[in-house]
Amino acid sequence: TVFENRFMHVEEMRRMNADMKIEGHSVIISGPAKLQGAEVAATDLRAAAALILAGLVADGYTQVTELKYLDRGYNNFHGKLQSLGADVERVDDSKIDVKNLASLF
């Protein structure tokens, strides 16, 4: 069973050019789609992590807000990504900036 509120991040992913639609208790993802950086808001813990990771592969700059959810479950998430070479910056308690990983390769 998938709870309806688990799909609240779909609209935010669409802002990044993800081709996703909700059908009943499922999300249909069509692709591949080239994600674009955008300002997006996390709606829960998993959405926060997913949006940050999507920002790492998106073209351009992504800013994820509403980090209160991320902080509740993932300690120092941005620091762990930085230690792997990701270009992420914790701007303040409410947002994180993410840049594309392409510069690493």
- Domain range for 97: 4-104
| pLDDT (mean) for 12-27 | 92
Rounded Cα distance, 93 and 25, in Å: 33
Quote the CA–CA distance of 20 and 62 in Å, as a whole number.
19
Number of domains in the chain: 1
d(CA 97, CA 56): 10
State the pLDDT at residue 84.
93
Q: Is the pLDDT of residue 7 over 80?
A: yes
Residue that is written with structure tokens 């639609």 in the block: 21
Q: Is the pLDDT of residue 63 over 90?
A: yes
Q: What is the pLDDT of residues 69-101, one digit of tens each?
A: 888 889 899 999 999 999 999 888 778 788 877
CATH number of the domain within which 65 lies = 3.65.10.10
